[in-house]
Amino acid sequence: SQTIHQWPATLVQPVGSPLSLECTVEGTSNPNLYWYRQAAGRGLQLLFYSVGIGQISSEVPQNLSASRPQDRQFILSSKKLLLSDSGFYLCAWTHRGNRNTGELFFGEGSRLTVL
Amino acid sequence: AQSVSQHNHHVILSEAASLELGCNYSYGGTVNLFWYVQYPGQHLQLLLKYFSGDPLVKGIKGFEAEFIKSKFSFNLRKPSVQWSDTAEYFCAVNAPGSGGYQKVTFGTGTKLQVIP
């Protein structure tokens, strides 16, 4: 069966420090990968998605970046964190091609607090 | 661009009360519709989904949703809620994109609190 893991689960970082959140998927190949940010009362905002290794699309301009160095690995990064980057970040995946129905499978989430 | 509206932000019910959470979407083409649930301290998980066929779909834990195309709605219902249904519920719609990408848009969520 497929599983998705992201880490760390919680992170407290000072303003201006770098960030790296990692997400890996197991049990499937060639998934579409996504990073969302969940804010109270605002639902889930799509930050990045990837349809393949090295292919990253950004939905909103921001201080963050994403990379996909391997087929089942998705990384969310920042060189210098801002206070506004605080939030709950979710990694997700979907099947590709004919198996893709749009159903998302979410990781456990990473709560980032920038002080 | 597609969008999703959930009009109830916070709902408080007593156990055994009936539940209906509203969800409306805007998109002119064929869509797939979803309800996700996030229980306290847990990750988001799928509650139910509609792709095609019978517009009344049944999900886990006694939930159901009805797709009404003319109203662009996909309301979630449960005849009798339990304390364990306390959670946040998200409606989502996806439309096919290019290159194998499915754009999924979420509503702002509804927090349900069930009082024993």
Phi-psi region of A69 (alpha: psi -120 to 50; beta: other; left: phi over 0): alpha
CB contact under 8 A, A96 and B100: yes
Please say if the pLDDT value at position B19 is more than 80: yes
Residue predicted with more confidence, B94 or B58? B58
pLDDT over 90, % of chain A: 73
Q: What value does the mean pLDDT take over residues B51-66?
A: 94
The pLDDT value recorded for residue B2 is: 77
**What pLDDT shows up at residue A14?**
97
B98's CB contacts (< 8 A; 6+ apart) are none
Contact A106 B43 (CB under 8 A): yes
**pLDDT value, residue A87:** 92
Averaged pLDDT score across all residues of chain B:
90
A61 in reach of chain B (CB within 8 A) = no
- Using a 10 angstrom Cβ sphere, with 0-12 exposed, 13-18 middle and 19 or more buried, the burial of residue B93 is buried
Any B CB within 8 A of A98 CB: no
When pLDDT is cut at 50, 70 and 90, the band that residue B94 belongs to is: confident
B96 or B51, which is more confident? B51
Closest residue in B to A59 (Cα) is B103
> In this predicted structure, what is the pLDDT of residue B98?
53
- Nearest Cα of chain B lies from the Cα of A102 at a distance, in angstroms, of 6
pLDDT score of B89 more than 90: yes
Share of chain B above pLDDT 70, in %: 94
Q: Is the pLDDT of residue A111 over 90?
A: yes
pLDDT at A2: 86
Contacts (Cβ under 8 Å, ≥6 apart) of B59:
B35, B46, B47, B48, B49, B65
Q: Nearest by CB to A43, from B34, B43, B106: name it.
A: B106
A98 contact residues in B (CB cutoff 8 A):
none
Q: What is the pLDDT of residues A31-81, one digit of tens each?
A: 999 999 998 777 888 899 998 999 998 877 778 999 999 999 999 999 999
pLDDT at residue B100, rounded to an integer:
52
Comparing alpha-carbon positions, the chain A residue that sits nearest to B6 is: A43
Kindly report the CA angle at A48 between A20 and A32, in degrees rounded to 5?
105
**Confidence category of residue B101, pLDDT binned at 50, 70, 90:** low
pLDDT of residue B95: 75
Query: B32 and B96 in contact (C-beta within 8 Å)?
Result: no
